[in-house]
Amino acid sequence: MPECRRRVELKARELVVEGGRGEGHKGSGAGGTRGQGGTDADSRSFSKRLPSHFLLFASFNDECTNGDLMRLLEGKSLPGIFSGPDLVPRRSHVPRNQNESVLEIGGRIFEKAVKRLSSVDGLHRISSVIPFLMDSSCCGYHKASYYLAVFYETGLNVPRDQPQGMLYSLVGGQGSERLSSMNLGYKHYQGIDNYPLDWELSYAYYSNIATKTPLDQHTLQGDQAYVETIRLKDDEILKVQTKEDGDVFMWLKHEATRGNAAAQQRLAQMLFWGQQGVAKNPEAAIEWYAKGALETEDPALIYDYAIVLFKGQGVKKNRRLALELMQKAASKGLHQAVNGLGWYYHKFKKNYAKAATYWLKAEEMGNPDASYNLGVLYLDGIFPGVPGRNQTLAGEYFHKAAQGGHIEGTLWCSLYYITGNLETFPRDPEKAVVWAKHVAEKNGYLGHVIRKGLNAYLEGSWHEALLYYVLAAETGIEVSQTNLAHICEERPDLAEGYLGVNCIWRYYNFSVFQIDAPSFAYLKMGDLYYYGHQNQSQDLELSVQMYAQAALDGDSQGFFNLALLIEEGAIIPHHILDFLEIDPTIHSNNISILQELYERCWTHSTEESFSPCALAWLYLHLRLIWGAVLHSALVGAVSPSPALGVPALSQSSDAYFGCLQIYFLGTFLLSVLIAWTVQYFQSVSASSSHPTPAGASPNSTAPIASPAVTPAADASAQDQPTVTNNPEPRG
């Protein structure tokens, strides 16, 4: 604690000097130099009590301020201090609470540190930024605590110090910082980096952020962005990332101005939620919602604008017009609007019977919000005609909503699994963590970090891209882990020069233990196990397991790689064959297994033309036919002559040697064919677009793959009106 106090006092002195280098405080008489307007006693008494971040579970209730700090914030009596506008808030924005003042100082220090890290050679400056981050953390600004945790845990241009990293992660978690809590939840969920495997503790961290996520989504201000699954290996997706002055955005705006309803809808969604690289701008989004609803007959735009009018978000509330628009959208068969009518009668009219009628209809149409809302009626004991509460039925409806991606429904299921209070939800802490993790990873503050990493990558700012993807990957979100590994493959000099961990191995390995791991990650780990990587030894058995998992997920290259291993003489264990549902009693030898693998490879291939899998299958059968023909010819050449009673070889040795020549020539030509086949497959694999993920989250949202205007997909559940939350336009 004394060390923390001393560091902040020193930082205050530095900032005093920095302030004095500016214009100086008016009335100081000498340009605001350090020696005037504040004594050493002032500086020494700058902080009486400070929060200690050296104790694992410190309460952080101590204050870091006294009267001098308040005068500093108000710009009184301390000439020259914080005269720079980026270091001190203006008087009109000074928080009333002194703790908030200290927190704001920490935020200003953090912003200054991040500005340095975002420079072209930002990673090189980490050592000089560490003291700033420590000061910021000391003031209770725990975004800085998370940065420090990641720097020490990964050795990002600092000596790797896992205990120190764990310490700062705990400090951030104690302050309920979102990324720190997710980091702790993830590490305890997997039991990695010396964190004990503890699903109950993991759930506590994840559920804390998961419950904040829907509230964060309804907050239009703040550093948030929509969490999108964008892979750096997918060039087509990267091409349509845009900004307000980008070609895609300007083209959509042009089409929207011409009255294209799909363009208006997509433009409004991008602006409202901050999607596809566009910054959040709810006011501009509402203008497009209004224009589309009033000028077109598109039911989605009509519904979205109705929600805006109900809430009075950026426009004056107009419940009457909103109801008319909602009814109009519902009459066109939009299930979100049918659900919205139920929400209207529940919230404004307290007519639960009518609300239930609309929700039952919407649920039949496949609306997950309606399922959730029906569950709320049962949970509150107000379902028409059903006396009392029925938690069992409520749980069934919540589970159905969660299966459709509804955030609150998922949270209820997570709670049921951790408590085990319902017979239909037996206690299962691991499953509770999985559901809570799924919701937490939709948090907009995490999305903001991911978006900053993506933007930096697109702009060629490698240091910044690596920084933000490391920060995101350590929270445990799969897409950032595989993207970070991809960056490390592209720029091994950065990975080896700045990271204290084996980047490629660490993050591909992390990704394959995710629920929704993509098949290409299994293939990558299969290759790493097959060849070995840096200090990691070869492991053929694990390589086979990784390829088998990719194959099971429908990736043709997984089948192809397994077949190549057999061609090289490897033996596929029986449990792997069972895993792939290949019956060893039917496929009892390697030739039969090869035929099955190549056939499945061909079946799962996405190649429109004659695929490499098909060529491999054809080559195998040519080999079998060729071997059978030559075997027959050789047998005929050496078989006894029935007429003479002597071996035919003694009569026709020329025919025998001719067969041998044909055999070796044919074998050589076929070997050339298979070599070409393998090289062609590898080249196609290397240049192909990103593979299809092995599994998708219940509510994954795919970005638009081309600038063509198409109707938006059904809205995600959290963007719809619910009983317990304010409705939002479709996302």
Structure token pair of residue 109: 């220090």
Supply angle C-alpha 221, 213, 315, rounded to 5.
40
Pair (279, 376) in one structural domain: yes
- Domain membership of residue 194 (yes or no) is no
> What angle in degrees, to the nearest 10, is found between the helix axes of 199-217 and 429-440?
30
Confidence at 388, pLDDT banded by 50, 70, 90: very high
Rounded to whole angstroms, how far apart are CA atoms 333 and 431? Answer: 36
Task: Assess contact for 175 and 426: CB atoms under 8 A.
Answer: no
Q: What CATH number is given to the structural domain containing 249?
A: 1.25.40.10
pLDDT value of residue 261? 79
Tell me, yes or no, whether 380 and 503 share the same domain.
no
Model confidence at 89, in pLDDT bands (50, 70, 90)?
very low
Greatest mean pLDDT range, 40-54, 102-116, 313-327: 102-116
Residues 466 and 401 in one domain: no
Task: Please indicate whether residue 709 or residue 71 has the higher confidence score (pLDDT).
Answer: 71
The residue with greater pLDDT, 636 or 390, is 390
Task: Please give the pLDDT value at position 452.
Answer: 94
Q: What is the pLDDT of residue 379?
A: 96
Q: Same structural domain for residues 158 and 250?
A: no
Q: Tell which of 128, 147, 175 closes a domain.
A: 175
Asked if the structure places residue 124 within a domain, the reply is yes
* pLDDT above 60: residue 69: no
671, pLDDT greater than 70:
no
CB atoms within 10 A of CB 609: 5
Do 398 and 472 sit in the same domain of this protein? no
Answer yes or no: is pLDDT of 129 > 80. Answer: yes
Mean pLDDT for the chain overall? 77
Q: Let me know whether 51 and 123 are in one domain.
A: yes
Which residues have CB under 8 Å from 299's CB, separation 6+? 328, 329, 332, 333, 334, 337
Residue in this structure with the two tokens 């044909």, named with its chain if needed: 662
Predicted pLDDT at 285: 81
Is 148 part of any domain?
yes
Distance CA 103, CA 142 (A): 9
Those residues whose C-beta lies under 8 Å from the C-beta of residue 646, and which sit 6 or more positions away, are 640
Tell me the C-alpha distance between 239 and 316, whole Å: 38
Query: 204-213, 426-435, 562-571, 603-612 — which is least confidently predicted?
Result: 603-612
Reported as a single tens digit per residue, the pLDDT across 459-482 is 999 999 999 999 999 999 999 999
The C-alpha atoms of residue 138 and residue 130 are separated, in whole angstroms, by 12
Task: Say if residue 6 is in the same domain as residue 150.
Answer: yes
pLDDT of residue 426: 96
Establish if 486 belongs to a structural domain. Answer: yes
pLDDT in tens, 338-364: 999 999 999 999 999 999 999 999 999
For 724, other C-beta atoms within 10 Å of its C-beta total: 11
Cβ neighbours of residue 59 under 8 Å, at least 6 residues apart?
51
Which residue from 310, 232, 311 is spatially nearest to 469, judged by alpha carbons? 232
Number of domains within the chain: 3
Q: 167 with 270, same domain?
A: no
Determine the pLDDT at residue 389: 94
Determine the pLDDT at residue 298.
86
Identify the pLDDT of residue 275.
77
Residues in the chain: 731
The 10s digit of each residue's pLDDT in 535-570 is 888 899 999 999 999 999 989 899 999 988 988 888
Cα end-to-end span (Å), the chain: 47
d(CA 146, CA 71): 30
Helix spans in 553-582 (H): 556-567, 574-579
Segment 655-663 mean pLDDT: 56
Residue 606 lies in a domain: no
Shared domain for 19 and 160, answered yes or no, is: yes
| pLDDT reading at 232 higher than 90 | yes
| Distances from the Cα of 233 to the Cα of 239, 375, 521, 620, 689, angstroms | 11, 41, 12, 32, 7
Report the percent of the chain where pLDDT is more than 90.
47
My answer on whether 239 and 381 are in the same domain is yes
Residue with tokens 């950065």: 494
| Ranges 55-64, 78-87, 297-306, most confident | 297-306
Whole-angstrom CA distances from 297 to 191, 268, 318, 325, 731 are 53, 16, 20, 10, 19
Which of 154, 175, 196 marks a domain boundary? 175
pLDDT for 330 beyond 90: yes
Q: Which of 586, 601, 625 is the last residue in one of the domains?
A: 586
Please report, for the chain, how many H helices and E strands are present, in that order: 33, 0
Query: Residues 274, 721, 296, CA angle at the centre, nearest 5°?
Result: 70
pLDDT over 60 (residue 246): yes
Q: What tokens appear for 395 in the block?
A: 């749980």
Q: pLDDT at residue 334 above 70?
A: yes
What average pLDDT does range 265-284 have in this prediction? 77
Task: Please give the residue that has the higher pLDDT: either 78 or 2.
Answer: 2
Q: Quick one: pLDDT at residue 624?
A: 65
Containing structural domain, residue 41: 2-175
The tokens describing 586, both together, are 């039917």
Same domain, 159 and 43: yes
CA 144/CA 731 separation, integer angstroms: 31
- Is 675 inside any structural domain? no
Nearest in space to 484 (alpha carbons), one of 493, 500, 495, 496:
495
What is the distance between the alpha carbons of residues 535 and 613, in angstroms, rounded to a whole number?
33
**Is 141 found in the same domain as 38?**
yes
41 pLDDT higher than 50: no
Top mean pLDDT of 130-139, 235-244, 269-278, 301-310 is at 130-139
Reported as a pLDDT band with limits 50, 70 and 90, residue 712 is very low
Which residues, 6 or more positions from 257, have their beta carbon under 8 angstroms from its beta carbon?
A: none
Note whether residue 579 is domain-resident: yes
Return the SS3 of 422.
Answer: strand
> Where is average pLDDT lowest: 212-216, 477-481, 720-724?
720-724
d(CA 103, CA 452): 24
pLDDT at residue number 13: 47
pLDDT at 605: 75
Mean pLDDT, residues 18-31 taken together: 38
Q: pLDDT over 70 for what percent of the chain?
A: 69
The band of 654, judged by pLDDT with boundaries at 50, 70 and 90, is: low
Is 619:595 a contact under the CB 8 Å cutoff? no
Which amino acid type is present at position 282?
P
Q: Contact at 8 Å (CB) between 553 and 519?
A: yes
Does any domain span residue 525? yes
642 has a pLDDT exceeding 60:
no
In this structure, the dihedral spanned by the alpha carbons of residues 360, 361, 367 and 373, taken in order and rounded to 10 degrees, is -30
In order of 282, 445, 719, the CA distances from 219 in angstroms are: 11, 11, 12
Q: Quick check: 488 pLDDT over 90?
A: yes
